[in-house]
Chains A and B, each alone.
Chain A
Amino acid sequence: MTNKEKYQQAFSTLKASRKLEMEDIEMSKNVIFTKAVAVAAAIALCFVGSNGICYAATGDTWVEKMIVYFNGEPKEMDVEVKDMGDGSYGYFMEIPEDGEYTMDVPENSSRGVAVITEEVPEDFQNSISNIDFALDLESDEMVVLKGEPLEIVTSIEVVDGIQWFCANEERVDITEDFADGEATGSILVSGKEYAYQLTGTVDEYSVMLTSEE
């Protein structure tokens, strides 16, 4: 047997067992969109988690202030993050050394701080506390430096007509408050109180979470 045949034989044992019907696809449409927005929100939230100021996020394109490292030298920049529509996020930023060069990283992003460097120094992880990943421009390699979980994941879930704003495992009934497309209040997440400001719709919302710290 060739390697290819051996490989295909080995993985032929894996079979999808869920029966997918068009009805399921139609019904799940809204739920999934909300989930996608929640992921986007989480990325923005966690980036600024350390200083207590959180940015708004939408499900399409948003701008984050990120610390971008050029060969180890930090520089705060506006980075446009775009939901590429294929499950990945693109990071768009100008790289000073190259003038107007715009980088598109349609790779899987995690959260927080983007790092661009020709080489990741050995002590990089120790010297910078809040880096999630690095991109080695020479090899196009995305180097994941940390695999810590997202700090806060938000979503809006609708159960029996009640709209719940969820942050991690906590939730708040926003049915009446959100009827006009805006809702504010507070929610306790992991023992810490956050003020939330929601705008938009259940399917496409923006959320801003702030804490006192």
Chain B
Amino acid sequence: MRQPVQELIERYQNSLFVAAFQICKNKEDAEDIVQDTFIQYHTTKKEYESEEHIRAWLLRVAINKAKNVNLTFWRRNKQPLEDYIETLSFETEGAGELFETVLGLPEKYRIVIHLFYYEEYSVQEIAKVLKLSESNVKVRLSRGRKLLKDALKEEWEDDK
């Protein structure tokens, strides 16, 4: 199955933007990545099993593209992350602290944490999106949570 790009943009643009931002930590790069991802969907003749399959594919492509952006040096003059964070308005002080703490995590933990807590993916689904083993995802999730707990103390509950 395939779905019209315009519908996918309306549904997933923000989700892809946040995932890309998680990796490249730059608004402009993240916006480019989202656009590139939809272009790739549009130009690829791939057939999908379901809408969930499309969503996972889009996320995977956006994540890969964001990683690629981090590996190239052909990057625009970036606005420092700290400056960008200052332009954001958080509902609570704790939300801002959590935001900054997450962005301070190593990338490999950050993206797993993000897919789990933001996209509400299961370990099995994260493994498919990132093409990792489930045990690897569990390890990353566990280490990421521990780092969050160490940094945020009582602001972050112990996950079971």
Cα distance A4–B118 in the bound complex, in angstroms: 7
Closest Cβ of chain A: how far from B123's Cβ, in Å? 14
Point out the residue from B63, B65, B71, B96 that lies within 8 Å of A150, measured CB to CB.
Answer: B71
Report A197 CB to chain B, min CB distance, Å: 22
B82 CB-CB contact with A under 8 Å:
no
Best-buried of B6, B14, B40 by chain A (most CB within 10 Å): B40
What A residues does B61 contact at CB under 8 A? 86-87
Q: Which of A8-33 contact B (CB under 8 A)?
A: 8-18, 20, 22, 24-26, 28-29, 32-33
Q: Which of B31, B96, B99, B139 has the most A CB atoms < 10 Å from its CB?
A: B99
| Complex Cα–Cα for A11 and B119 (A) | 11
Q: Does A39 contact B (CB under 8 A)?
A: yes
Bound: A140/B108 CA distance, A:
12
Q: Which residue of B lies closest to A168 (CB)?
A: B74
Cβ of B88 within 8 Å of any chain A Cβ, yes or no, is yes
Q: Kindly identify, within residues 9 to 64 of chain B, every residue whose CB is under 8 Å from any CB belonging to chain A.
A: 9, 13-14, 16-18, 21, 30-31, 34-40, 42-44, 46, 57, 60-64
If over half of A's interface residues share one DSSP class (helix, strand or loop), that class is named, otherwise mixed; here it is loop
Is A150 within 8 A of B42, CB to CB? no
Residues of chain B lying within 8 A (CB to CB) of residue A7: 98, 102, 113, 117-118
Say yes or no: A11-B5 contact (C-beta < 8 A), given A3-B117, A150-B71: no
Task: Decide if B124 is an interface residue (CB 8 Å cutoff).
Answer: no
Interface membership of B104, Cβ < 8 A: no
User: Please, what's the 1-or-0 string for A75-95, where 1 marks a CB less than 8 Å from any CB in chain B?
Assistant: 000000000011110000000
Across the interface, do A86 and B42 meet the contact criterion of CB distance under 8 Å?
no
- Bound-state CA distance A42–B34 (Å) is 23
A8 closest partner in B (C-beta): B118
Q: A108 at the A/B interface (Cβ < 8 Å)? A: yes
Q: CA A149 – CA B155 in complex, angstroms?
A: 38
Nearest-neighbour CB distance to chain B for A11, whole angstroms, equals 6
* Complexed CA–CA distance, A11 and B98 (Å): 9
A28→B39 contact, CB < 8 A: yes
Measured CB to CB, the closest approach of chain B to A13, in angstroms, equals 5
Would A108 and B136 count as touching, CB distance under 8 A?
no
Q: CA A87 – CA B16 in complex, angstroms?
A: 14
The 8 Å CB contact of B95, one of A10, A15, A85, A86, is: A10
| Residues of B participating in the A interface, judged by any CB pair closer than 8 Å | 5-6, 9, 13-14, 16-18, 21, 30-31, 34-40, 42-44, 46, 57, 60-65, 67-68, 71-74, 88-92, 94-96, 98-99, 102, 108, 113-114, 117-118, 120, 131-133, 136, 139, 155-157, 159
Interface pairs (15), CB distance under 8 Å: A4-B120, A6-B95, A7-B118, A10-B98, A15-B14, A16-B13, A16-B17, A20-B9, A42-B72, A86-B64, A87-B61, A108-B64, A139-B136, A140-B136, A153-B72
Among all A-B residue pairs, the 6 with the closest Cβ atoms: A87-B64, A149-B73, A16-B17, A7-B117, A108-B67, A10-B95
